[in-house]
């Protein structure tokens, strides 16, 4: 089975190349807006209007004839602009068909952030430490890791700090060798928190790096400096660029840390159980929203899942209810008056006397629930296979005994919707 991967690299275009790239973004924005305007006007005249690719493509050709500057843009880049308009308008039709009272027309672009080369047909090519782009030239690129698989598409994008990147999409058949030696593999439960970003059931704890909190004062300073500059001035643009760079630095630090953390986990464990948190609901508690965003729980799980899938490692999400209030040894659940407060960092079982870190205790409970969930899923799959076998036997024999197999249902309890996260 082919798997798709994205590879992102920093570009360092010259001043002349910057002008060409910026010009192409502006031209693509104009083409997008003209195509979209045509669709919106047609729909306002007749609500039964649906996009006709042939007529819209004719309009694109007409726009290219009217604007000779578009000859400096690779044809398939403009074709991708056409595809983006189609996708945006199809999403609009979907909202209309769903009965959305305010479906909202697709919005006109004020800024165009990227251009895409949809086919690897010679329009772009890697030559050593240079990226050759049709109509642009050779741009220095930092290839910090090797691209594995066949390159299919390329997107050149610019962020708000005016930094340029090349994003390649590649397909490959083989799986990544992320997992460790089988002798070292083991099952593990992971509890996510704000003091310890992850607490592992074997006692390992990784402190939350808090990159945003550490950079918060500098971000505030940059924000004040930008707000004091005159709107539209060069000084304001420079200040906004410095502010954006600071924000991107925090984002890059966080993503780098999470990539290394998830790879470390997948190299040491074969089965991982994690709590299923309703992160968006938890962010509604404004006392913790900033810290939860800084911890990037959702990003952590996203990276862990896709890397685990490519490495053949199973990741199961489980209901986190009572995992912090239940003894991992004897199973005793703390009564209402015994419940741990957020400031309590040690779990003490009044029944069996167990005393350990509350996050590690929760991680052990998460692992147990994950193993149970895996067993239920395996039993249900086995039962389903039994039903299929009965059907097959029925085709061969005139009389069969009905199996009546129905696997045990999973607990119907939903994850807690409490706005206060586990610390």
**Structure-block tokens of residue 369:** 């629930």
Give the angle 250-254-259 at the CA atoms, nearest 5°: 150
Which entry of 191, 317, 326, 369 is annotated as an active-site residue? 191
Could you give phi then psi for residue 124, rounded to 5 degrees? -145, 155
Largest pairwise CA distance in the chain: 88
Residue 365, Ramachandran bin (φ over 0: left; ψ between -120 and 50: alpha; else beta) = alpha
Which entry of 66, 359, 369, 393 is annotated as an active-site residue? 359
CB-based contact 169:9 (threshold 8 Å): no
Q: How far is the C-alpha of 226 from the C-alpha of 327, rounded, in Å? A: 52
**Strand runs labelled E in 233-379:** 271-275, 314-318, 346-348, 355-357
Q: How far is the C-alpha of 129 from the C-alpha of 49, rounded, in Å? A: 49
Which entry of 275, 317, 326, 369 is annotated as an active-site residue? 275
**Structure-block tokens of residue 9:** 């690299």
What DSSP line would sit under 365-377, residue for residue? HHHHHHHHHHHHH
Q: How far is the C-alpha of 225 from the C-alpha of 239, rounded, in Å? A: 7
How far CA 367 is from CA of 93, 314, 359, in Å, comes to 44, 12, 12
CB-based contact 141:164 (threshold 8 Å): no
Q: How far is the C-alpha of 236 from the C-alpha of 234, rounded, in Å? A: 5
Among this protein's residues, is 275 annotated catalytic?
yes
Residues forming the active site: 191, 275, 359
């Amino acid at each position: 089975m082919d798997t798709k991967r994205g590879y992102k690299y920093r570009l360092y275009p010259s001043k002349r190349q910057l002008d060409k790239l910026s010009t192409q973004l502006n031209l693509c924005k104009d083409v997008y807006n003209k195509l979209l305007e045509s669709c919106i006007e047609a729909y306002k005249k007749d609500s039964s209007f649906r996009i006709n690719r042939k007529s819209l493509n004719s309009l694109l050709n007409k726009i290219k004839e009217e604007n000779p500057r578009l000859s400096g843009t690779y044809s398939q880049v403009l074709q991708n602009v056409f595809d983006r308009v189609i996708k945006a308008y199809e999403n609009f039709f979907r909202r209309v068909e769903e009965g959305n009272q305010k479906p909202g027309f697709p919005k006109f672009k004020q800024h165009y952030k990227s251009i895409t080369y949809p086919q690897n047909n010679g329009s772009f090519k890697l030559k050593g430490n240079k990226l050759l782009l049709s109509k642009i030239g050779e741009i220095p690129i930092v290839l910090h890791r090797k691209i594995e698989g066949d390159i299919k598409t390329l997107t050149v994008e610019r962020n708000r700090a005016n930094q340029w990147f090349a994003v390649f999409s590649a397909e490959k058949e083989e799986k990544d060798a992320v997992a460790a030696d089988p002798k070292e593999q083991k099952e593990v439960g992971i509890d996510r928190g704000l003091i310890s970003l992850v607490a592992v059931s074997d006692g390992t704890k990784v402190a939350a790096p808090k990159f945003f909190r550490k950079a918060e004062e500098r971000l505030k300073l940059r924000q004040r400096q930008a707000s004091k500059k005159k709107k539209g001035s060069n000084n304001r643009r420079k200040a906004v660029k410095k502010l954006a760079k600071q924000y991107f630095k925090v984002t890059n630090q966080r993503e780098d840390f999470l990539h290394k953390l998830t790879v470390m986990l997948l190299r040491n464990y074969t089965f991982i159980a994690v709590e299923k948190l309703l992160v968006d609901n938890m962010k509604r508690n404004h006392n913790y929203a900033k810290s939860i965003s800084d911890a990037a729980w959702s990003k952590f799980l996203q990276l862990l899942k896709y890397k685990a899938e490519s490495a053949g490692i199973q990741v199961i999400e489980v209901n986190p209810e009572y995992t912090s209030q239940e003894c991992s040894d004897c199973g005793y659940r703390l009564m209402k008056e015994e419940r741990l407060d957020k400031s309590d960092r040690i779990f003490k079982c009044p029944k069996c006397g167990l005393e350990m870190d509350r996050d590690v205790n929760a991680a052990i409970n998460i692992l147990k629930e994950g193993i149970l969930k895996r067993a239920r899923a395996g039993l249900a799959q086995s039962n389903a296979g039994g039903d299929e076998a009965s059907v097959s036997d029925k085709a061969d024999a005139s009389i069969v005994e009905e199996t009546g197999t129905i696997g045990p249902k999973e607990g119907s309890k939903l994850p807690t919707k409490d706005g206060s996260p586990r610390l």
